C-alpha cells in the first residue's frame, strides 16, 4: 500500500469543492498570510489548485498580497510606488509619483479597489 503524501506545516491545504449532489466541481486551496488572515485560491483541477496555492504563498512571502475588499486605490498606490523604484529609471519614477500625487489620488484615491470597474 502506498504511503499518503503529507504536506508540511504551513504549506496550505487543497480540498475539493462539491455541489449539492456531492459531485466535485473544482478545488480550493487555503493558506494563512503573515498577518494571520486566511486566503483562498480556486481552480478546476487539484494540480492547478496546488500550483495556484504555491504562487499565492510565494507572492505573500514577497509582500504582494492585498485585500481588495478594504484597500483603497490610494493605499495601493502608496505601496506600489516604493516597490517599483528600483525597477524603472529615476526620472520615470518621479513622473509616476507626480501623476499619482497630482491626478490619480485626488480624483480616485478614495475609491475601494473592489468597486473600480475592470478594464476590458
- At 4-44, the pLDDT tens digits run 666 666 678 898 989 999 999 999 999 887 777 888 888 99
Any domain includes 87: yes
Any domain includes 35: yes
The parent domain of residue 51 ranges over 14-62
Which residues have a Cβ under 8 Å from the Cβ of 11 and sit 6 or more positions away? 57
Any domain includes 8: no
Whether 80 and 111 map to the same domain: the answer is: yes
Any domain includes 5: no
What are the pLDDT digits (tens) for 44-69?
Answer: 999 999 998 988 888 777 766 656 67
Whether 50 and 77 map to the same domain: the answer is: no
Whether 52 and 79 map to the same domain: the answer is: no
Any domain includes 104: yes
Whether 77 and 50 map to the same domain: the answer is: no
Q: All 3 cell numbers of residue 118?
A: 475592470
Q: All 3 cell numbers of residue 87?
A: 525597477
pLDDT at 61: 76
Pick from 7, 97, 109: nearest CA to 57: 7
Whether 56 and 93 map to the same domain: the answer is: no
pLDDT at 12: 82
Whether 79 and 49 map to the same domain: the answer is: no
Please tell me the distance from the alpha carbon of residue 52 to that of residue 58, in angstroms, as a whole number: 10
Domain count, the chain: 2
Any domain includes 67: no
Any domain includes 3: no
Whether 28 and 55 map to the same domain: the answer is: yes
DSSP, collapsed to helix, strand or coil, labels residue 112 as strand
Whether 58 and 79 map to the same domain: the answer is: no
Amino acid at each position: 500500500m502506498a504511503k499518503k503524501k503529507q504536506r508540511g506545516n504551513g504549506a496550505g491545504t487543497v480540498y475539493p469543492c462539491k455541489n449539492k449532489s456531492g459531485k466535485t466541481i473544482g478545488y480550493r486551496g487555503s493558506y494563512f498570510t503573515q498577518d494571520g488572515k486566511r486566503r483562498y485560491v480556486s481552480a478546476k483541477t487539484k494540480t492547478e489548485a496546488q500550483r495556484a496555492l504555491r504562487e499565492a504563498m510565494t507572492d505573500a512571502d514577497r509582500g504582494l498580497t492585498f485585500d481588495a475588499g478594504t484597500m483603497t486605490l490610494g493605499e495601493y498606490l502608496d505601496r506600489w510606488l516604493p516597490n517599483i523604484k528600483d525597477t524603472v529609471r529615476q526620472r520615470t519614477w518621479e513622473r509616476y509619483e507626480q501623476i499619482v500625487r497630482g491626478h490619480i489620488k485626488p480624483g480616485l484615491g478614495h475609491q475601494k479597489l473592489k468597486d473600480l470597474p475592470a478594464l476590458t
